[in-house]
Amino acid sequence: MLVEAGDRSVVIEFRQIRTEDTDAFRAAIDRVARERSYLALLEAPPIEQVRAFVKRNVEHGYPQIVAVTDDLVVGWCNVPPASRAVSAHVGDLFMGLIPEYRGKGLGEGLLRHAIEAADAFGFQRIELGVFATNAAAIALYRKAGFVEEGIKRRAILIGDIHHDEIIMARLKP
Specify the pLDDT at position 8: 77
- Residues of the chain with pLDDT below 70 are 6
Specify the pLDDT at position 4: 73
CA distance 158 to 138: 20
CA distance 164 to 26: 25
Specify the pLDDT at position 77: 98
Specify the pLDDT at position 10: 84
Q: Give the bridge partners for 77, in sequence order.
A: 65, 95
CA distance 32 to 36: 7
The residues, any chain, with a CB within 8 Å of residue 24's CB and separated by 6 or more, are: 68, 71, 72, 73
CA distance 142 to 131: 14
DSSP 104: S
Specify the pLDDT at position 2: 76
Specify the pLDDT at position 144: 97
Q: Against a cut of 0.85, is the pTM above it?
A: yes
Please name which of 95, 73, 101, 55 lies closest in space to residue 13, comparing C-alpha atoms. 73
Specify the pLDDT at position 1: 79
Residue type, 169: A
Specify the pLDDT at position 172: 94
Measured CA distances, 75 to 30, 70, 84, 93, 147 (Å): 11, 13, 27, 13, 23
**Number of C-alpha atoms within 13 angstroms, CB side, residue 5?**
18
